[in-house]
Amino acid sequence: MPSDERPWFLYLIECRDGSYYAGITNDLDARYRAHVDGKGARYTRSHPPLRLLGSKSYPDRAAASRAEWEIKQLPKAKKPGFLAP
């Protein structure tokens, strides 16, 4: 499937120190592997991932970016619930 037709995903990672990292991608498996391998975001290089808490798909990058902004505004306790169906 061409990259412009693939859905975008908002994802939430729980880091080993208990913090959360939210990001967007159009290839969730590859992006999570990059975080685990220390080649993802600067934040996850210094706060290694423990597990992927969840993800939610969006039709395009703009929608995923808006959702990323929204989840980053929430208090930590509400972030996992943002991904609930």
Are 41 and 49 in contact by the 8 Å Cβ rule? The answer is: no
- Residue 3: pLDDT band with limits 50, 70, 90: low
pLDDT of residue 5: 79
- Determine the pLDDT at residue 84: 83
Residue 85: pLDDT over 80: no
pLDDT tens digits for range 10-53: 999 999 999 999 999 999 999 999 999 999 999 999 999 999 99
Q: Please state which CATH number belongs to domain 8-75.
A: 3.40.1440.10
- Which pLDDT belongs to residue 80? 93
Phi, psi of 57, deg, nearest 5:
-90, 150
80, 12 contact by CB (below 8 A) = yes
Dist CA 29 CA 18 (whole Å): 22
